[in-house]
Amino acid sequence: MRLLNIRLIVSLILGITLVSLVSSYYEVRAQKRSLRQDLEHRAEVLAESLAQNVEPYFGKGSRRLQKIVGQFGNREHLEGVVIVDREGTLLAVTPGLASSLASQSHAVSQSMIDNHGISEFVHQGGGASNIYAVPLHKDEQVIGALAIIHDATYIEAQKARVWRETFFRVLVQVLLIALITLLIVRWSIAGPIARAAQWMKALRTGRASAQAPDMDLLFPLAKEVETFAQSLTAARNAAEKEAELRAAAASLWTAERLCVHVRGRLGDSRLFVVSNREPYFHTRQGKTIQAIVPASGLVTALEPVLCACDGTWIAHGSGEADREVVDKNDRLRVPPDDHRYTLRRVWLTKEEEEGYYYGFANEGLWPLCHIAHTRPIFRASDWKHYQMANQRFADAVLDEMSGIERPVLLAQDYHFALLPRLIKKERPDARVAIFWHIPWPNPEAFSICPWQRELLDGLLGADLIGFHIQSHCNNFLQTVDRTLESRVDWEHFAVNREEHRTSVLPFPISVDFDENPPSGESAYIERGVLLRELGIEATYLGVGVDRVDYTKGIQERFLAIERLLEHYPSYRGKFSFIQIGAPSRTHIKRYHDLFGEVEAEAERINWKFATGKWKPIIFRKGQHNHQEIERFYRIADVCLVTSLHDGMNLVAKEFVASRHDQQGVLILSVFTGAARELRDALLVNPYDIEQTAEAIRSALEMRAEDRQTRMEHMRKIVREQNVYRWAANLIGSLSEVRLDQAEPSVFAKSLGV
């Protein structure tokens, strides 16, 4: 630190001295120029005035001229006046003035030649003088010259004075700055560094938190150190957890274990992920651009994998500032603070997005697969956009795969049904999987789609197709069996078609399970805070968290609450249900109308039952982040997940994962994938309003011991079958796929080919 102080002070002294000297040099030059200009101006005014007095007497004898010049010998800095004729002969000179100074001056002779005033500075005998000469005229002819001579020595003296003042000023500045620098280094650098060193020592020995001490002046270093500390803490926790698991012979999957597993499975291969939604999007916040992470279980599961193998995520660039942060190849490295993998963005026009995403995918395939009593709409123009978008994403994937041997591709969801075939056609050496996050309907329902054969053919280009549950796999295999010429291997759940084998397997997706309860206020206190924020009074609270979608059964849920209050009036004024509804795809008419219908239904029921500060339904519109939603999960007595048809529905698992107190009751639709795993929930048919109302009553009246037992069983399932296990199973199964080698035909063999 002492060496740092010396180097810093010496550097500052040299820097300040150099800057001061350069600044003083230009200041001296400017002042010298100003003094010279002032002197020349005074000489010019005097010379022109005197020339007018001399010209009438020129040629009438030198005595008169001598008398005139003799009068100018006592002015400030004026040495004298000289008058010469055309040939340079001296006619008059101020007494005591060296006549040679003017007669030999270049300015005198040049002024008669140029016929205008000339200024000249000369040095003679250790002093400096200014000679200003003007021509004398008679009948507009030059007849001689008059020179005004000033002593310019004071200008050099002024310059020397400025240099002296500069020296003392620099000396004082250097001393003051050196002193201030020592104080700053001691208070703002040495102190924080010493505290950071003590904190890092404590961190190394496991006695400190991951949050770095205050180091405002060293903010970039502090940020990196804190990231390093968090990584070290996470690694230590992971190691401790892994040791605990080994001791308990358990097999809990963590992000770190998933990374190791994937690196071992992929070897030298590279992983590529394709999804419509990107893991990071960029938006403007004032004058800055910020990276936003969307709430997504998919990002939670796959980002550790991509970080582990330096993979590539290809997605639609939908953020308002997305184009401003990519390179010329539409790539950027993410995460923003710790570059571990590549994000490749694909651009779509508004028209293309409208046709591919909102049109064919969400007005066609979404209602078709969910069978939720909304008529699917299939337009030829939307189909063309869907084909085009799949081709554009396929081109981006192939571009990223260029030069990579045995790449591994994991496509996500119903937006990319054609993509596997497009990739496999160009890169037969690639292992390709697609995970279908929504249900797959029965063959009769899927046959509604005019392009069912093309969609199935595209999907069967994959080596592995994943669904949430086995019944969706069965529906898919039945659809293929009835639609395409192929051989379905029901024993191994695979399709053999065109010398290619596609496995169709269930992989139930899940959530991240944090075993550490959040620090802060108790659930009781947090409940009171939330009730005050909502402006209501209630004894029991229910919660529902959904996108406002016709598949989620929100209106049926409200009707069940209405029926509960009708049949059991004792819950009036006591039970309130909080519905968190995120607007979704609102410029599609069905979704726009649905949002208004849900809001109207909530208002109708509230108008019917509300009294004072109590109302049965609180409809919270808008987007909520995971931390905000968890507050409601933790204080709810009951959570309603009543989807009319769903692939998995992770809200059920999020609710279970958030209940560290082992309390709360989950009411779950039998038409969700989660119902296959969470058998300790109260399972209901959401279309049966009476049954759902009775389930709410049972949940509110259930004994604490029963609630705890049920929640413990469900938490054990979610803990063990977490999102990392899902990713590990999916990628592990894909890595075990044997790439097909086309067998030579009988005809080719007979020819010896």
Residue 119's pLDDT band (cuts 50, 70, 90): confident
Out of 70-74, 252-256, 681-685, least confident range: 70-74
672 and 693 assigned to the same domain = yes
Element (H, E) at 534: helix 523-534
596 and 501 assigned to the same domain = no
85 and 122 assigned to the same domain = yes
The parent domain of residue 438 ranges over 260-506
DSSP 3-state assignment of 668?
Answer: strand
What pLDDT is stored for residue 719 in this prediction? Answer: 93
Residue 742's pLDDT band (cuts 50, 70, 90): very low
Out of 115-124, 525-534, 744-753, least confident range: 744-753
Averaged over 658-669, what is the pLDDT? 95
Most confident of 139-143, 704-708, 730-734: 704-708
364 and 502 assigned to the same domain = yes
C-alpha 648/C-alpha 474 separation (Å) is: 16
Q: Does any domain span residue 551?
A: yes
Quote the strand ranges of 7-95, DSSP E: 78-85, 90-93
Task: Name the residue with higher pLDDT: 597 or 49.
Answer: 597
What pLDDT is stored for residue 238 in this prediction? Answer: 61
Which amino acid is located at 135 in the chain?
P
Ramachandran sector of residue 126 (left: φ over 0; alpha: ψ -120 to 50; beta: rest): left
60 and 40 assigned to the same domain = yes
Q: Are 85 and 54 in contact (CB under 8 A)?
A: no
Q: Is 193 exposed, middle or buried (0-12, 13-18, 19+ CB in 10 A)?
A: middle
Residue 440's pLDDT band (cuts 50, 70, 90): very high
Q: Which of 506, 533, 564 is the last residue of a domain?
A: 506
265 and 389 assigned to the same domain = yes
Q: How far lies 70's CA from each of 67, 93, 107, 136, in Å?
A: 5, 7, 22, 18
What pLDDT is stored for residue 227 in this prediction? Answer: 67
Q: Which of 157, 179, 199 is the last residue of a domain?
A: 157
Global pTM value: 0.69
Averaged over 73-97, what is the pLDDT? 76
Average pLDDT of the chain, as a whole number: 85
222 and 341 assigned to the same domain = no
* Residue partners of 388: CB distance under 8 A and separation at least 6: 352, 356
569 and 651 assigned to the same domain = yes
Q: Are 277 and 743 in contact (CB under 8 A)?
A: no
Averaged over 668-686, what is the pLDDT? 96
What pLDDT is stored for residue 744 in this prediction? Answer: 36
Q: Which of 157, 174, 193 is the last residue of a domain?
A: 157
Q: Does any domain span residue 300?
A: yes
C-alpha 491/C-alpha 504 separation (Å) is: 11
C-alpha 666/C-alpha 715 separation (Å) is: 12
Q: Does any domain span residue 747?
A: no
486 and 584 assigned to the same domain = no
CATH number, domain with residue 672: 3.40.50.2000
Question: Is the pLDDT confidence value at 272 over 70?
Answer: yes
CATH number, domain with residue 119: 3.30.450.20
Question: Is the pLDDT confidence value at 441 over 80?
Answer: yes
Q: In percent, how much of the chain has pLDDT > 90?
A: 49
C-alpha 692/C-alpha 38 separation (Å) is: 100
399 and 452 assigned to the same domain = yes
| Alpha helix ranges (H) inside 579-721 | 589-609, 626-635, 650-658, 689-701, 704-720
Counted residue by residue, the chain has a size of: 753
Q: Is 160 exposed, middle or buried (0-12, 13-18, 19+ CB in 10 A)?
A: exposed
Out of 74-83, 381-390, 511-520, 565-574, least confident range: 74-83
Residue 751's pLDDT band (cuts 50, 70, 90): very low
Strand duo 141-151 + 127-138: pairing:
antiparallel
Residue 492's pLDDT band (cuts 50, 70, 90): very high
Quote the strand ranges of 196-340, DSSP E: 271-275, 281-285, 288-292, 312-316, 331-334
Averaged over 168-185, what is the pLDDT? 76
pLDDT digits over 498-512, tens only? 889 999 999 999 988
Phi/psi for 648 (5° steps) reads -130, -55
Averaged over 25-36, what is the pLDDT? 82
| Nearest CA among 322, 317, 742, 372 for reference residue 552 | 372
Residue 753's pLDDT band (cuts 50, 70, 90): very low
Out of 168-172, 542-546, 590-594, least confident range: 168-172
473 and 577 assigned to the same domain = no
What pLDDT is stored for residue 741 in this prediction? Answer: 42
Q: Are 128 and 153 in contact (CB under 8 A)?
A: yes
Which amino acid is located at 237 in the chain?
N
Q: Does any domain span residue 738?
A: no
Q: How far lies 368's CA from each of 412, 419, 447, in Å?
A: 18, 20, 10
What pLDDT is stored for residue 657 in this prediction? Answer: 94
6 and 142 assigned to the same domain = yes
pLDDT digits over 274-327, tens only? 999 999 999 988 889 988 887 666 787 788 888 878 899 999 998 899 999 999
C-alpha 232/C-alpha 201 separation (Å) is: 13
| Nearest CA among 467, 479, 481 for reference residue 442 | 479
Total domains in the chain come to 4
Task: Name the residue with higher pLDDT: 13 or 684.
Answer: 684
What pLDDT is stored for residue 309 in this prediction? Answer: 81
